[in-house]
Amino acid sequence: MLFNSLSYAIFLPVVCVVYYLLPHRMRWAALLAFSLYFFMSWNPRLILLILFTTLVSWSGALALGHLRRRRARQAVVVAGSALCLAVLFFFKYYDFAADSLQGLFGLLGIPLAPPTLSLLLPVGISFYTFQTLSYLIDVWRGDLAPERHLGYYALYVSFFPRLVAGPIERAGNLLPQFRQPHQFSTAGCTRGLQQIGVGLFKKVVIADTLTDFVDAVYNNLPGKTGLTLILATVLFGVQIYCDFSGYSDIAVGSARILGFSLMENFDAPYLCCSVRGFWCRWHISLTSWFTDYVYIPLGGSRCSRLRHLRNLMITFLLSGLWHGANWTFVCWGCWHGLFLCFETFWGRRADALAARLGRSPGGLLFAAARWVYTVGAVMAGWIFFRANSLADAAYIFANLLRGLNPLRLVTYAAPAGMEPADLLLVAGLIALLAIWDGLSRFGGNSFSVLCRARPAVRYLFYWALGSSILLTLLLRPFGAAADFIYFQF
């Protein structure tokens, strides 16, 4: 069941009506049943995996609550984490590891052919696995008391708005909310519907519109050069942002209608002036997860410079591997890790250089230069993320600077299937996205600015949003709802 499908448009109102009609003591059971149904709509058999992970982490946390000996507690958290990660590894990384070992031994001249399983990747497995790991580790650290009610904990793991692609919630934030009695709020419902509408616009109108243009280049690279590759890469950067932030908006908005508060996962990341700043605003829940459970335990920045750089690289290599079982994702993580290391080492030197040149580090010109550098680094990194193989990524980098005449943009856009009218449409959509994200700089977030606007402006916004979504859906084949990119992770 996709967020951008007719079935979800029916499912969510039914859940809301049932939820608010039931007495508080029965609501958790109804939400759990709806969440498991939502998950099983993809593949009913895969429910066993999420139930196994849930039971392992829940029982492990209960055991931690009774144990006092340090070694016994360490053994429990290691065993519980290993079991949860074993499921993730088996379904997501086994074939990747087998193929990599075969290639490595082949280079050494040693014949090795481990069996491959070609297993179906369970939807959302990376997200709910990390959520159970954070819970188990928090209980082990003593930051959280173990949840004794299996039903509430199972709902925490499988809560349908965030189940498939996040945000990766912490138990300390979400679990207490299931015990709170929620009353229907007109303001909460309005804000939730606003966020769902914006999320649908990002996904249906922008991301899905760009998909064909990007695929036309990246799935057929021979002969593509210069501006064709740059245009496709920039469009993919916009596509994946609108696709994933659109999902997050719908997830947060759906939960808000029910009275729950999920963490925001994006905050105008393309307006940042450093790669470090980009990661503070992109997939925030994952960034904070790796910060709390990988980067800081390794030593963070409170160590020698060399160890600090090592910690950054390890964190981003693991982040890249989390995104997919392919060496392209590992290279993508390494790419961002290198830029984080560069900024850590050269950040102050860049400010000193600006001062020597008579420019203020906070000045407009210097900020513009930093923004160009940041967007360029992030967009170049998307080449690894989108490329179908390392060979394709190498081809793109090798041909990226061939054919860069901006006066022939229409000619170079043709291989992507883009006519002049398409270029104008895409430019307009990107401009609208930039304006929407830019509003967050004038009042906390864009929704707050919208709520303070005059009624006529708000209603015009609602009309334009709804009309564009409906028109886009009507122009596409009936029932052809496109998957979200992050479903594959």
* One domain for residues 396 and 303: yes
* One domain for residues 148 and 202: no
Would you say residue 120 has pLDDT above 70?
yes
For residue 54, tell me if it sits in a domain.
Answer: yes
* One domain for residues 436 and 315: yes
Distance CA(215)–CA(217), nearest Å, equals: 5
* One domain for residues 51 and 174: yes
For residue 112, tell me if it sits in a domain.
Answer: yes
* One domain for residues 192 and 162: no
Report pTM. 0.89
* One domain for residues 295 and 349: yes
The per-type count for the chain, helices as H runs and strands as E runs, is 23, 0
* One domain for residues 168 and 259: no
Q: What is the mean pLDDT of residues 246-264?
A: 92
pLDDT of the residue at 151: 92
Question: Using one digit for the tens of pLDDT, what is the confidence trace for 15-35?
Answer: 999 999 999 889 999 999 999
Of the candidates 66, 149, 182, 323, the residue annotated as catalytic is 323
For residue 1, tell me if it sits in a domain.
Answer: no
Question: Using one digit for the tens of pLDDT, what is the confidence trace for 165-181?
Answer: 778 999 999 999 999 98
For residue 24, tell me if it sits in a domain.
Answer: yes
Q: 107 versus 181: which is more confidently predicted? A: 181
Decide: 258 and 174 in contact? Cβ < 8 Å: no
336 is an active site residue: no
Of the residues 183, 198, 227, the one at which a domain ends = 183
pLDDT of the residue at 240: 93
Distance CA(116)–CA(97), nearest Å, equals: 9
* One domain for residues 69 and 197: no
Would you say residue 7 has pLDDT above 80?
yes
Would you say residue 485 has pLDDT above 80?
no
Q: How confident is the model at residue 394 (pLDDT cuts 50, 70, 90)?
A: very high
Decide: 227 and 256 in contact? Cβ < 8 Å: no
Question: Using one digit for the tens of pLDDT, what is the confidence trace for 55-99?
Answer: 999 999 999 988 888 898 999 999 999 999 999 888 888 878 887
- The burial class, CB within 10 Å (0-12 / 13-18 / 19+), for 338 is middle
Q: How confident is the model at residue 351 (pLDDT cuts 50, 70, 90)?
A: low
333: domain range?
Answer: 188-488
Q: How confident is the model at residue 332 (pLDDT cuts 50, 70, 90)?
A: very high
Question: Using one digit for the tens of pLDDT, what is the confidence trace for 184-241?
Answer: 888 889 889 988 988 998 998 889 888 888 988 899 888 888 888 888 999 999 999 9
Q: Which of 258-267, 340-349, 471-480 has the lowest mean pLDDT?
A: 471-480
For residue 146, tell me if it sits in a domain.
Answer: yes
Strand, helix or coil for residue 96: helix
For residue 468, tell me if it sits in a domain.
Answer: yes
* One domain for residues 202 and 350: yes
* One domain for residues 166 and 208: no
pLDDT of the residue at 362: 59
* One domain for residues 195 and 173: no
pLDDT of the residue at 387: 92
For residue 344, tell me if it sits in a domain.
Answer: yes
Of the residues 183, 198, 216, the one at which a domain ends = 183
Backbone φ, ψ for residue 396 (5° rounding):
-65, -45
Number of domains making up the chain = 2
Of the residues 183, 213, 238, the one at which a domain ends = 183
* One domain for residues 455 and 411: yes
For residue 416, tell me if it sits in a domain.
Answer: yes
Q: How confident is the model at residue 489 (pLDDT cuts 50, 70, 90)?
A: low
